[in-house]
Amino acid sequence: MVRRSEDHERPVERLYDTASELLAKSYDANLHFGYWDDFGNGSLAAAAERMTDQVIERIRVKPGQRVLDVGCGTGTPALRLARARGVEVVGISISRRETDGANERSRRAGLARRVRFDHADAMALPYATASFDAVWAIESMSHMPDRAKALGEIARGLRPGGRLVIADGFLHGTGTGPSNPVMDSMCAAFRMHSPPTLAGYEDLLASAGLRLTESTDLSRHARHSMARLTETLKGDSAEFARVLGRGTFVRLMESLCEADVTKIVGYALLTAERTADPRNSG
Contacts to ligand SAH by CB under 6 A: 12, 16, 30-32, 71-73, 77, 92-95, 98, 121-123, 138-140, 143-144
Q: Which is nearer to ligand SAH, 11 or 177 (CB)?
A: 11
Least CB distance to ligand SAH at residue 113 (A): 22
* Best CA proximity match to 59, nearest among 39, 85, 27: 85
Q: Which is nearer to ligand SAH, 98 or 273 (CB)?
A: 98
Close Cβ partners of 207 (under 8 Å, ≥ 6 residues apart): 148, 151, 279
Least CB distance to ligand SAH at residue 129 (A): 18
Q: Which is nearer to ligand SAH, 3 or 149 (CB)?
A: 149
Least CB distance to ligand SAH at residue 232 (A): 14
CA 136 vs CA 26, 66, 183, 258, 259: distances in Å? 25, 11, 24, 34, 31
Residue 226 contacts residue 17 (beta carbons within 8 Å): no
Q: Which is nearer to ligand SAH, 195 or 211 (CB)?
A: 195
- In this structure, the number of other CB atoms found within 10 A of the CB of residue 213 comes to 13
Least CB distance to ligand SAH at residue 174 (A): 27
Q: Which is nearer to ligand SAH, 122 or 269 (CB)?
A: 122
Least CB distance to ligand SAH at residue 138 (A): 4
Residue 90 contacts residue 70 (beta carbons within 8 Å): no
Decide: helix, strand or coil at residue 217.
strand
